[in-house]
Chains A and B, each alone.
Chain A
Amino acid sequence: MTLKPRTTPELAAVTMAEIEPKYTPQEAKVEADRCLYCFDAPCIMACPTGIDIPGFIKKISTNNLTGSARVILESNILGASCARVCPTSVLCEGACVLLDRDEKPIKIGRLQRYATDHVFENNINVFKNKPRPNGRKVALIGGGPASLGCAAELAQLGYQTVIFEKKPEAGGLNTYGIAYYKLTPEVSLDEVQLVKSLGVEIRTGVEVGVDVGMDKILAEFDAVFLGVGLGHTYQLDIPGEDKGGVVEALEFIEWIHTKPLHQVPVGARVAVIGCGNTAIDAVTQAKRLGAKEAIIIYRRGEDDMPAYEYEYEIAKKDGCGFMFHTAPVEVLGDGHVTGLRLVRTKNNAQGKAEVVPGTEFDEPFDMVIKALGQQKQKAMLNKLVPDLALDKSGCIDVNPQTGQTNIEKVFAGGDARNGGREVVNAVAEGKKAARGIHAWLNGQAVDGPVQASRLGCKDGVTGSGYDHPRRVPELEAEYFAKLNEVSHG
């Protein structure tokens, strides 16, 4: 057995089609009309980029689609991809007041997509005001969401900005690493074009530290933003890991984004190790691309998985298998993987998974996808910026308000700083760093515009998610857990 394409263009067009297609104009109008247009709305408080959500929805309702997209993109330059990949049920939609009235929150993500699609499909430029160049230059290392968010904001403040990206295309994981049925690379590349249209220069195929020295960049630019993301997936650290057919989840997903779908190699029986959101993206796409069986292997239980509930639902609907409380101990095979030696595990008193001795068994697989999470790039960062302060986990240490690192002219944001969160967090951190850079270089802070749906807010309103993002469902769970403690304690 070996990895080979297992689908046809026609079949892939169906199995890999977007799971949430674009609203029709009427669907969008009906959904937008449901929005109550809250004052100082909780959804804004739950959005890390602080989009004026009732504001953009109202504009859909009045058929001012360009204005709607402008509201979104002014707060979040990657609003089109976030509309598709944000875990809205724990962010904006999880804060919707309608959950308390009729349990059906406004479909904010889908409306956001509807508005942003309008301007991308019709080539409408929502940013009409060209800022006057202020003569300063900022370099951004890495071309993912954090750098794009940072560069877009800087460009609008008049900075000359240059993004250095080692891959052939910018966009980072949005271009290469998200399930195809949620976000196609075209959407991400459209966003890259939008950022470029603001005057941002993107040098692709350039690896900083290899093709161009960091010292040269530090000397040439007034400030540097590190948006380098994370590195390779964690290793299984078991015998046989180097056999053919053992791939990293992001590598597999990158194939999907760089090859025609019917040429993506996949196994007949695929094991995915790990149960985070990337693991789900990998297992579902393996199944959708023709694997007869695609099975998640996870050392802990159903309730412990880091994947979002709705992601789990997608995988179950796709017919993916789940082996909980199971861990691999050896990759079997001669050159190419033929199976995994597995062992049963159980959660110990501390909630950690531990092996149950004597439970080993073998399962045949011809492809093993490792999805154990990405590693921090400690070594790379140390080499790139030798004195850069990292925290204990290996993330870049920054001032959370400004994104500034211990090295004055170096700022950071995104996965390299937060250890791996949502696209929307990366954009928000990039934007914060841009404002941090501006404040540091000019000695003055930048305030965002007052949001239309909050016009007339007095001091002391709860505030935007940009200042202090809150996940309402989690806060709720915390609150009730505390209540329980009190009533039982």
Chain B
Amino acid sequence: MLKIENLTKKYGEKCAVDSLSLHIKSGEIYGFIGHNGAGKTTTLRAVCGILQFDEGEITIDGKSIKTDALECKKKIAYIPDNPDLYDFMSGIRYLNFVADIYGIPSDIRAKRISKYADAFEITNDLANPIASYSHGMKQKLAIIAAWIHEPKLIIMDEPFVGLDPKAAHILKGMMREVCDCGGAIFFSTHVLEVAEKLCDEIAIISHGKLIKNGTMEEVKGDESLEDVFLELEAE
């Protein structure tokens, strides 16, 4: 589904991501962990075509994000760490905006909006301007917008930040549902317990370099993910 080969991104002299390679298969929830400034957000932004990179290649379903960005973007959805949405729109207007861009027919989008908005309990707020939403509500809206076109690959940067426990539980269910239907999830998190319980595979990144990746068992063995992460960080 997603192949990252030797991804390198530099900001001036500083190398934010250094020759990173990852393969994310269909049906997988792939966690991406690392300290602050490790290069997680840079990688995620490069994957969804927001950030140009210096070296390497990223392909989504066999198509290059560099040369075939639009085709790639049709298959993915991205939720950033800080959901800065259009404050001047109402929630429903924003969802219709995204649905129009993806060309989702009216009846299908209505069903999906209804399903997810009800699940997150924000249906009654959809007519209000986004400017009046709390951080958690914006995050919920960003999640619904990401799910509205049933993407094959969902890229999320710290998706659980700001969500209440119920919403976080619902999101975990939605993530698993996407993978059960043949999709894939690639997300970053600092919450190691969540990564440990939810992910099929994980990658640990430090100072732009991949230091360990594989299935949860391969990475942590009998230890806790927290212990492994701290040990690797100390090295």
- Asked if A and B bind, the verdict is no
| B residues whose Cβ falls under 8 Å from a Cβ of A | none
Interface residues of A (CB under 8 A from B): none
